[in-house]
A and B are shown apart, each in its own frame.
Chain A
Amino acid sequence: MELKLNKFTKRFGDTTVIKDMDLTVASGEMLALLGPSGCGKSTTLFAICGIHKMSGGTLHFGERDVTTVPAQQRSVGVVFQNYALYPHMTVEQNIGFPLKVQKLSKSVIKAEVARLAELVQIGDLLNRRPAQLSGGQQQRVALARAMIRKPDVLLLDEPLANLDAKLRLEMRSEIRRIQRETGITAILVTHDQVEAMSMCDRIALMKEGKIVQLDKPENMYANPGTQFVAGFLGNPPISFLPATAGETLSLGGNQTLARPSTLDAQGDIVIGIRPEHFGPQHGTGLEGEVIFVEPQGREDLIDVRLDNGGAICAILPSGEPVKLGQRVNWGVASERILAFANDGSRL
């Protein structure tokens, strides 16, 4: 079911947290709401599920206007960050609760619970209580409870934040699998860009209550609309350097780079270079000293202080003989340089 927010505004007292946000999520799509802490992700989510009232704007599920419909009648499934399982009920009762509220018969509920338990693969845990489950298992129960009503929309508020690294990886693909299998429209709230990029069809990147870019993950990475987007996506992060655009890009201290062919700005700008676009494989061009080496197993992260004072990060396959304090002269894939005006907009 398509979800459409139109000019959504949210105020708490006098402070406006979100102003005139437009957002459309296509039917069957999984969209990530990504952004730094406090940017209004949860607020948006609470407005969609009806826990918060909207201060302005409209919300449609398909053709249905649900702007003022109470949460109970919205048909939205939510998975909360701490799962919010009912501690006094068994797994079976937890998953079945939404149907019990609808006064369905015991046998129907039992069958549905079994179906959902199958889907999230917890069929053998039905008689346990939440306290007797691991984090990942609780997560699955929460997912099953959110899905059992066959909701129009599934909302996930940082569902992986409380899991350890390995489980997080596992649940990432699980949630994606379940979303694909059921074809449900889903919104995932997260501040982890890897999660957003690996799980979702599109990402809405938010900053201070506004969506700054809405795009497919790979587009957003390769083609960020602003310096903020470029800086937010990518790990290790992109390196920004001030530059003067003329014949070439002059970085000061007689370090220069070739202009990307698409750039037609002149004067003071900021350039962004992703780690994978800097290194010995790209020839030579920037001279500096290695100030930090962080082995990550398959790759090494290397921080280089340029002779003009700027710092830049490279990522190299591990085993490259790079040592702390070593002087290097590495090149940049100049066509991949991202250029920004001083106000952060993309050039």
Chain B
Amino acid sequence: MNTNSRIWHLVVILAIFSAPLLIMYVFQVMDSFTERRPDSLWPGELDLSNWRFLWEKIDSGRPSIWVVTFNTFVFATTTAVAVTSLSTMAGYALSRLNMPGRPYFLGGLIMLHAFPTITLIIAIFIILQFLGLFDSLLGIIFVKAALELPFGIWIMKGFYDTVPWEIEMAGVQDGASRVRVWWELVLPQVKPGLAALLIISFLSGWSEFVLPLVLAPGSSTQVLATYMNAVIQDDATADFGLFKAIGMFYSIPVIVIYLLFQKQLMNIYGGGTKG
């Protein structure tokens, strides 16, 4: 009885602190679908006009939402696939292969893992101009993938480290080459890691804002983050209904992934940054 009432205190305190988030979530969903009177918090009638950006251009000079979504999708999937495959290879090399300079690579990886990549953006901006990749999807894909790599390699190395050595020894003894051992015997053991990394780097690419903003400012390479930001910046009337509808649309994949993999994501974010 006593503990119960104390738990209720705790719940109330937590609820108060969580209230801003909950209010934001609720109105985020509600306002995108309904028309509310400005001075009231009660939902009005169902109103889908906020979603008009899906079938018409909200103003001239803005690319179609579908082009933008396609860009975002290409950007997020390509970086996710690139990060995952490169990390899968490099992580294995660092975890398991006997090669010269391995301790230095590992030390370097740990440093890179902690290093704040965003400080390099000015130099990268100029490098991309030199390479002629400025304002192209390809350019930001390269950059994003490269910047995510230390994290990815770190995660994958962690997964490889948990695979028993004996499995590899047995494979070698059974006559398989190291590549074959890796591909056929070790890789299946780290599938959960692959999936996790794929999901995380997809989410990270999907949400990325600063890189496209700086490195691909043109309208043909717009992604949802920069598109949405541009709509918000350009609209003087602060039409939150429209913004929220775009936000809803933008976050659909995130929410779906979140609902499906919430537990695993928490584990990875908890363990992943811990190193």
Residues on A facing B (Cβ under 8 Å): 49-51, 71-73, 76-78, 80-88, 97-98, 101-102, 145-146, 149
Contacts and interface: CB of A to CB of B under 8 A. Distances in A.
Given A78-B169, A80-B169, A101-B180, A88 B188 contact: yes
Contacts of A102: 175
B176 interface: yes
B98 to A, nearest CB: 10
B21 to A, nearest CB: 41
Contact of A149 (B172, B174, B177, B188): B174
Interface in B55-91: none
A101 B180 CA distance: 9
A97 B169 contact: no
How would you classify the secondary structure of chain B's contact residues: helix, strand, loop or mixed? helix
A195 B164 CA distance: 26
B16 interface: no
A81 B174 CA distance: 16
A84 B166 contact: yes
Interface in B155-192: 164, 166-167, 169-177, 180, 185, 188-189
A51 B189 CA distance: 21
Interface residues of B, number: 16
B175 A80 contact: no
Contacts of B174: 97-98, 101, 145, 149
A281 B171 CA distance: 56
Contacts of B170: 78, 80, 84-86, 145
A87 B190 CA distance: 12
A208 to B, nearest CB: 24
Contacts of B185: 86
Given A87-B188, A88-B189, A149-B175, 18 more contacts: A51-B172, A51-B173, A72-B176, A73-B175, A78-B169, A80-B166, A80-B170, A82-B164, A83-B166, A86-B170, A86-B185, A97-B174, A98-B175, A101-B175, A101-B180, A102-B175, A145-B170, A145-B174
Given A82-B164, A86-B185, A72 B169 contact: no
In this complex, the member of B166, B170, B176, B177 whose beta carbon has the largest number of chain A beta carbons within 10 angstroms is B170
A86 B167 contact: yes
Interface in B88-143: none
In this complex, the member of A50, A81, A98, A146 whose beta carbon has the largest number of chain B beta carbons within 10 angstroms is A98
A191 to B, nearest CB: 18
B103 to A, nearest CB: 13
Contacts of B175: 72-73, 98, 101-102, 149
11 contacts: A49-B169, A50-B172, A71-B173, A72-B172, A77-B173, A78-B170, A78-B173, A80-B170, A98-B174, A98-B175, A149-B175
A81 B167 CA distance: 11
Given A87-B189, A88-B188, A101 B176 contact: yes
Nearest to B174: A98
Given A88-B188, A88-B189, A101-B180, A71 B172 contact: yes
Contacts of B164: 82, 84
Contacts of A73: 175
A71 B168 CA distance: 12
Contact of A51 (B169, B177, B188): B169
Contacts of A82: 164, 166
Contacts of A145: 170, 174
A88 B183 CA distance: 13
Contacts of A81: 166
A73 B175 CA distance: 7
A46 to B, nearest CB: 8
Nearest to A148: B174
A47 B170 CA distance: 14
A187 B174 CA distance: 17
A49 B173 contact: yes
A231 B221 CA distance: 79
A71 B181 CA distance: 13
Nearest to B187: A88
Contacts of B173: 49-51, 71-72, 76-78, 146
A49 B174 CA distance: 11
A109 to B, nearest CB: 13
Nearest to B168: A84
Nearest to A51: B169
Contacts of A51: 169, 172-173
B164 to A, nearest CB: 7
A77 B170 CA distance: 9
In this complex, the member of A73, A86, A102 whose beta carbon has the largest number of chain B beta carbons within 10 angstroms is A86
Given A87-B189, A88-B188, A88-B189, A72 B166 contact: no
List 7 tightest A-B contacts by C-beta distance, closest first: A84-B166, A98-B174, A88-B188, A84-B170, A80-B166, A101-B175, A78-B173
A83 B173 CA distance: 13
B170 to A, nearest CB: 4
B176 to A, nearest CB: 5
Contacts of B189: 87-88
A84 B172 contact: no
B194 to A, nearest CB: 13
A72 B189 CA distance: 22
